């Protein structure tokens, strides 16, 4: 019984660690995508100097994509919106 408890604690710890690393990796990828795509048209300082709601970031990113022709796929736009909301949201 004691070995089972130790095993379960180890599995839970490894699962939490893997989730944290995965989350950190995703955050790094999102930041990189934001910097790569948005810097094609303007300085990264421009969006980083703003704070907006999730809806406002969505509106901005979709305007850049659909009206201004930013080369961003729908999935990339979603990732960028989530990144901006998380880091520069209200």
Using alpha carbons, list the distances in angstroms from residue 9 to 2, 12, 46.
11, 5, 46
SS3 of residue 51 by DSSP: coil
Residues 61-73, mean pLDDT to the nearest whole number:
97
**Looking at the DSSP assignment, which residues form a beta bridge with residue 52?**
89
Report d(CA 69, CA 54) in Å as an integer: 21
Report d(CA 82, CA 79) in Å as an integer: 5
Tens digit of pLDDT for each residue in 11-61? 565 566 555 557 889 999 999 999 999 999 999 999 999 999 999 999 999
Report d(CA 44, CA 83) in Å as an integer: 13
Q: What number of other Cβ atoms are within 10 A of residue 72's Cβ?
A: 22
User: What domain range is 26 assigned to?
Assistant: 2-88
Q: What is the predicted pLDDT for the residue at 87?
A: 96
* pLDDT value at 66 more than 90: yes
How many domains does the chain divide into?
A: 1
Q: What is the predicted pLDDT for the residue at 68?
A: 96
pTM, full prediction:
0.75
* CATH code assigned at 12: 1.10.760.10
């Amino acid at each position: 019984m004691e070995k089972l408890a130790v095993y379960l604690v180890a599995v839970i710890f490894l699962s939490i660690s893997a989730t944290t690393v995965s989350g950190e990796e995703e955050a790094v990828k999102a930041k990189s995508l934001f910097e790569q795509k948005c810097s094609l048209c303007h300085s990264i300082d421009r969006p980083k100097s703003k704070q907006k709601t999730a809806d406002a970031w969505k509106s901005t990113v979709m305007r850049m994509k659909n009206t201004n022709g930013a080369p961003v796929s729908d999935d990339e736009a979603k990732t960028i919106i989530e990144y901006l909301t998380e880091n520069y949201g209200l």
